[in-house]
Amino acid sequence: MTKQIHINEASQYVDQEVVIGVWLADKRSSGKISFLQLRDGTAFFQGVVVKNSVSDQIWEIAKSVHQESSMYVTGVIHEDSRSHFGYEIEISDIELISQSEGYPITPKEHGIEFLLDNRHLWLRSRRPFAIMKIRNEMIRATYEFFNKEGFIKMDSPILTGSAPEGTTELFHIDYFDSDAYLSQSGQLYQEAGAEAFGKVFSFGPAFRAEKSKSRRHLTEFWMIEPEMAFMHQDESLAIQEHYIAFLVQSVLDNCAYELKILERDTDQLKKYTKLPFPRISYDEAVELLQKGGHDFKWGEDFGSPDETFISEQFDQPVFIMNYPKTIKPFYMKEDPKRDDVYLCADLLAPEGYGEIIGGSERETDYEILKQRIVDAGLSLDEYQWYLDLRKYGSVPHSGFGLGLERAITWICKLDHLREAIPFPRMITRIKP
Amino acid sequence: MTKQIHINEASQYVDQEVVIGVWLADKRSSGKISFLQLRDGTAFFQGVVVKNSVSDQIWEIAKSVHQESSMYVTGVIHEDSRSHFGYEIEISDIELISQSEGYPITPKEHGIEFLLDNRHLWLRSRRPFAIMKIRNEMIRATYEFFNKEGFIKMDSPILTGSAPEGTTELFHIDYFDSDAYLSQSGQLYQEAGAEAFGKVFSFGPAFRAEKSKSRRHLTEFWMIEPEMAFMHQDESLAIQEHYIAFLVQSVLDNCAYELKILERDTDQLKKYTKLPFPRISYDEAVELLQKGGHDFKWGEDFGSPDETFISEQFDQPVFIMNYPKTIKPFYMKEDPKRDDVYLCADLLAPEGYGEIIGGSERETDYEILKQRIVDAGLSLDEYQWYLDLRKYGSVPHSGFGLGLERAITWICKLDHLREAIPFPRMITRIKP
Ligand SMILES: [Mg+2]
Ligand SMILES: [Mg+2]
């Protein structure tokens, strides 16, 4: 029996006859030759059907098969230096599985809303295919990195009985006879994890009921949140930059084909694997903005245009360190040298992409943290379990959060987060 | 400066002086020696403080330090064949970071509700520690297995705009001006993924608003859902059993210390790495039950006691194949040899644990599937995108779902799923 393979194994079967289960992505004919663009989920490549080399019946199938029909093709693999992929198959037999009529996504241009309505099909097209493969590689590399560094994955709960940072951007759920909310961040739970397991990370979905239509927001997104006990902010920054460099290097090493589909400049990406990343203080960032003509005052938070401007001043990711306390959450540790800023940093991606990581050292003192909770107008009762972490064996600890889709958007050089997740959820989109 | 290490690195530092950041798990004194049971998140081991070898101040700290206080200890690593761990540290210096007063979880017995109320602290105890490390290893091994097998991870959405299998067990969300539900399963989306990427898997949280207090149910749990294009049920069963054997082998290889803490019989576990797993039909399972004196009729679904009984008849996981159509979901493929059963199988774990995997070949025919949706009283409109997968390039495909916590409960030999997840969610528990 002829061996059944996948397209991405073609290089190992040159001049051999193989069978491949495929879909027809596109086709063109030139008289007595049919060129079938085939895909099987691992890659795209060309199948060539020569009229004089096949039966009339096979030639008929090759001529009449429609876009996205499924079939088993049999043929011999050839090297083909002219093709994008480097190999093609000279087809001797076709077994049609299912003829497809009127596939809605044609080679012509379609509007984004139409494509999103058909996301279950659009994922098959070259560009979403390449992005999702890169997403997969970044997920794989994330596990490799944190496992190697001695972290354990500890899943924070998604359903939470309290609303830690206020309820305005939280999705509410009737949880039997009580209330629950979808988690925006698992960080507080990761802090409990750090005191149990030393170094932990979560990697799961997070939810934000933000009424924003910005290209940088999704209502459902995936976050990676590492938290490290016995660790100060400077060591945390070192882990962050090593992690980012590892992500980029992994994509360069394992997704050359997908980066080519996206026409991503790999020389540009290579720059992001050089460490350390530049570090500037919030104060210096404010100066940069002011010198650049931005109307920005110390103490304000950066908006997207500000982040874009700052990140464009560097050709690597840049850490902005030590933000004013007034614009950052209550659990951060005060800079011991100044009482108006925290020991924190955001990492801004270059090429104008802005924030992809936010992180800080955490406050360890029970009384200070308790007062902060009160000052923030939050319920001491809801936070007692979190305060317990400072009552029983408090240690210096730091952590950060990476938004997966933001990192993908940057590495793939996309315009909008909605292309970085298989089934995007936005204020106006909950289907399919 | 003395090198700072983790406890699980002790074997590499025998007879060397090191520093370790630790918490005090427990302690006992015998006159002029204090034995500190230390933990740092990687392991537990003993620190020995000899009064005559340390300053009065250090001796005082060793005597007065309370459970779960945090400190840096300095000392020399020794081999210690009497200890559980094999190594201990002879302490010369202690830097107390934070004294802990009145830690609620003492070495005495506590009730389960009290422990769950203090889950943020209970995670530090030996047993939860060991279970969570094994959970982490099973997560790591899952990615290793599916990456190696050529799958890509494709995240199904958690927020869904329709209620695929009826709304009774779904959590509802007000999604801006429309309705949304928390996903119970990402399978339908994985089927779209299989037609785009060939072999895909999801690994994320799923939610079931089931009013069950059973020890086999959580409202929030994690599922692994692989889906394979161009694949029939028999090949899917082979992947399933290889995956399970790989999970068990990975835990045996990498969690010997944790299995010892749990006193898990590793000879028993080794049996579960032998392939193939036994396979019996639903019909044969019914016979087994009837012979065993169970009042069970063909066509009924197995309850937990039935599954327990069946699984106790085998000393390996066992596949129950081809269930009646009436008790399984609409999307499964009919057995070509019989019109009353589907090509499906559940995998029951041994030692009475019952179902850990459910899977099937999927129906590929547009018209049959459409009729099934109508017959199930579901909305054709909501399912049109799913029907599209049969309209455009339908191919034979199969998939399955593994409940992570059920698999952990079995591998760790636990009584209840609530111990298999860091922060369990049940009908009466949504905090901390
Ligand atoms: Mg910001
Ligand atoms: Mg069942």
Q: B142 CA to middle of ligand 1, Å? A: 34
The encoded tokens of residue A329 equal 């959450």
Please check whether residues B178 and B60 belong to one and the same domain. no
Per CB-CB distance under 8 Å, the chain B contacts of A364 are 98
Cα of A316 to ligand 2 centre, how many Å? 52
DSSP 8-state symbol, A394: -
With beta carbons under 8 A apart, name residues in chain B contacting A41.
194-199, 229
Position A399 in a domain: yes
B114 within a domain of the structure (yes/no): no
Q: Does residue A211 sit at the B interface (CB-CB below 8 Å)? A: yes
Q: B39 Cβ partners below 8 Å, 6+ apart? A: B7, B22, B23, B25, B124, B129
**Best of B115, B220, B392 to disrupt the A interface by mutation (most A CBs within 10 Å)?**
B392
Instruction: Give me B280's structure tokens.
Output: 């019996």
Q: Residues B282, B360: one domain?
A: yes
Ligand at minimal distance from the CA of A358 is: 1
* Cβ-nearest to A197 among B41, B70, B194: B41
In a domain, B135, yes or no: yes
The answer, for A126 touching chain B at a CB cutoff of 8 Å, is no
- Distance (Å, rounded) from C-alpha A366 to C-alpha A346? 25
Q: Stretch A87-97: mean pLDDT, rounded?
A: 97
Residues A265 and A394 in one domain: yes
Is the CB of residue B107 less than 8 Å away from at least one CB of chain A? Answer: no
- How many Å lie between the centroid of ligand 2 and the Cα of residue A201? 33
Residue A302 CA to ligand 1 centre (angstroms): 6
User: Does residue A156 lie within any of the structural domains?
Assistant: yes
Q: Among A6, A139, A204, select the one facing B153 at the smallest CB separation.
A: A139
Q: What is the CATH number of the domain that holds B184?
A: 3.30.930.10
Q: Give chain B's length.
A: 432
- B142-165 pLDDT per residue, tens: 999 999 999 999 999 999 987 766
Contact residues, A window 286-345, toward B, CB-based 8 Å cutoff: none
CA nearest to B106, candidates A382, A392, A1, A373: A392
Residues A420 and A408: their CA atoms lie apart, in Å, by 6
**Which of A7, A28, A3, A105 is closest to B229 using CA atoms?**
A7
Mean pLDDT (whole number) for A316-343? 97
Structure-token pair, residue B104: 């609620």
Chain-chain contact of B195 with A171 (C-beta, under 8 angstroms): no
Rounded mean pLDDT, B109-129: 97
Number of domains in chain B: 2
pLDDT digits (tens, 9 = 90+) for B347-377: 999 999 999 999 999 999 999 999 999 999 9
| A257 vs B: CB within 8 A | no
Task: Tell me if B157 and A211 make a contact (CB, 8 A cut-off).
Answer: no
Residue type, B347: L
User: What is the model's pTM?
Assistant: 0.97
Average pLDDT, chain A: 95
Whole-number Å distance, alpha carbon A359 to ligand 1 midpoint, is: 11
- Most B CBs within 10 Å, among A45, A392, A398, A430, to test the B interface: A392
Which residue of chain B comes nearest to A186, CA vs CA? B423
Single out the residue of B373, B12, B421, B6 nearest to residue B218, CA to CA. B421
Q: Which residues, 6 or more positions from A377, have their beta carbon under 8 angstroms from its beta carbon?
A: none
A375 contacts chain B (CB < 8 A): no
For residues B72, B73, B77 and B83, what is the CA-based torsion angle, rounded to 10 degrees? -100
Are A158 and A227 found together in one domain? yes
Span B248-302, pLDDT tens digits: 999 999 999 999 999 999 999 999 999 999 999 999 999 999 999 999 999 999 9
B355 Cα: distance to centroid of ligand 2 (angstroms) = 6
Could you tell me if B121 lies within 8 Å of chain A, comparing CB atoms?
yes
* Residue A168 falls inside a structural domain: yes
- Please say if the pLDDT value at position A165 is more than 70: no
Choose among B26, B217, B224: nearest CA to B125.
B26
pLDDT at A280: 98
Say whether both A75 and A130 belong to one domain: no
> What are the tens digits of pLDDT across the range B307-347?
999 999 999 999 999 999 999 999 999 999 999 999 999 99
Residues B74 and B164 reside in one and the same domain: no
**Which ligand is located closest to the Cα atom of residue B307?**
2
Contacts of B162 in chain A (CB under 8 A): 431
B148 neighbourhood in chain A, CB within 8 Å: none
Nearest by CB to B157, from A182, A193, A220: name it: A220
Q: How far apart are CA B273 and CA B316, in angstroms?
A: 9
The closest CB to that of A393, out of B100, B173, B391, belongs to: B100
User: pLDDT-derived band of residue A265, with 50, 70 and 90 as boundaries?
Assistant: very high
What is the CA(B308)–ligand 2 centre distance, in A? 11
Q: Is A193 helix (H, G, I), strand (E, B) or coil?
A: helix
pLDDT digits (tens, 9 = 90+) for A357-415: 999 999 999 999 999 999 999 999 999 999 999 999 999 999 999 999 999 999 999 99
User: Which of B132, B162, B428 is opposite residue A197, by nearest beta carbon?
Assistant: B132
Mutation target among B120, B181, B385 for the A interface, most CBs of A within 10 A: B120
Examine the domain organization and report whether B235 and B358 are in the same domain: yes
B147 closest CB neighbour out of A132, A140, A432: A140
- For residue A184, being part of any structural domain is answered with yes
Structure confidence by residue, pLDDT tens digits, B90-117:
999 999 999 999 999 998 899 999 999 9
Contact A342/A334 with Cβ under 8 angstroms? yes
Among the partner residues B158, B211, B393, nearest to A220 by beta-carbon distance: B158
Residue A262 sits in the same domain as residue A142: yes
Q: Answer yes or no: is pLDDT of A245 > 90.
A: yes
Dihedral sign for Cα B191, B196, B202, B207, please: negative
Does pLDDT of A178 surpass 70? yes
CB atoms within 10 A of CB B333: 21
Residue B76 belongs to domain spanning: 3-98
Name the β-bridge partners of A76.
Answer: A17, A90
Contact residues on chain A for B40, CB-CB shorter than 8 A: 198, 230
Same domain, B89 and B184: no
Residue A48 identity (one-letter amino acid):
V
Tell me whether residues A41 and B132 touch, CB distance under 8 A: no
DSSP A314: -
Chain B residues within an 8 Å CB radius of A196: 41, 123-124, 128-129, 132
Same domain, A216 and A82: no
Residue A148 contacts B where some CB pair is shorter than 8 Å: no
Q: Which residue out of A8, A9, A120, A148 would a mutagenesis test of the B interface target, given it has the greatest number of B Cβ atoms within 10 Å?
A: A120
Ligand nearest to the CA of B327: 2
The shortest CB-CB distance from B220 to any of A140, A159, A207 is to: A159
Contact residues, chain A, for B132 at CB < 8 Å: 152, 154, 196-197
Q: Kindly determine whether residue A207 and residue B159, on different chains, have CB atoms separated by under 8 Å.
A: yes
Q: Which ligand is nearest to the CA of B306?
A: 2
Contacts of A126 in chain B (CB under 8 A): none
Same domain, B55 and B140: no
Helix (H) or strand (E) holding A350: none
Q: Does B129 share its domain with B91?
A: no
- Beta carbons of B97 and A394 less than 8 Å apart: yes
Average the pLDDT over each of A53-67, A81-95, A290-304 and give the range with the smallest value: A81-95
Q: Place A166 in a pLDDT band, splitting at 50, 70 and 90.
A: low
Contact B392 A159 (CB under 8 A): no
Judged by CB atoms closer than 8 Å, whether chains meet at B175 and A171 is answered as yes
Question: Hey, are the CB atoms on B120 and A189 less than 8 Å from each other?
Answer: yes
Structural contact between residues A198 and A150, judged by C-beta atoms closer than 8 angstroms: yes
B405 assigned to some structural domain: yes
Interface confidence (ipTM) of the complex: 0.97
- Asked if the peptide bond before residue A276 counts as cis, ω within 30 degrees of 0, the response is yes
> What pLDDT digit, counting tens, does each position of B211-253 carry?
877 788 899 999 999 999 999 999 999 999 999 999 999 999 9
According to the 3-state scheme, what is the secondary structure of chain B? CCEECCHHHHHHHECCEEEEEEEEEEEEEECCEEEEEEECCCCEEEEEEEHHHCCHHHHHHHHHCCCCCEEEEEEEEEECCCCCCCEEEEEEEEEEEECCCCCCCCCCCCCHHHHHHCHHHHCCCHHHHHHHHHHHHHHHHHHHHHHHCCCEECCCCCEECCCCCCCCCCCEEEECCEEEEECCCCHHHHHHHHHHHCEEEEEEEEECCCCCCCCCCCCEEEEEEEEEECCCHHHHHHHHHHHHHHHHHHHHHHCHHHHHHCCCCHHHHHHCCCCCCCEEEHHHHHHHHHHCCCCCCCCCCCCHHHHHHHHHCCCCCEEEECCEHHHCCCCECECCCCCCEECEEEEEECCCCEEEEEEEEECCCHHHHHHHHHHCCCCHHHHHHHHHHHHCCCCCEEEEEEEHHHHHHHHCCCCCHHHHCCCCCECCECCC
Rounded to whole angstroms, the Cα distance separating B121 from B110 reads 13
Instruction: Point out the domain boundary residue: B64, B98, B132.
Output: B98
CATH number at residue A54: 2.40.50.140
Residue A197 lies in a domain: yes
Give the model's pLDDT for residue B31: 87
Query: Does A209 sit within 8 Å of B176, measured CB to CB?
Result: yes
Say if the Cβ atoms of B393 and A68 lie within 8 Å. yes
> Pairing relation of β-strands A318-321 and A33-39?
unpaired
CB B230 within 8 A of CB B260: no
Q: A138, A379, A423: which to substitute to probe chain B, counting the most B Cβ within 10 Å?
A: A423
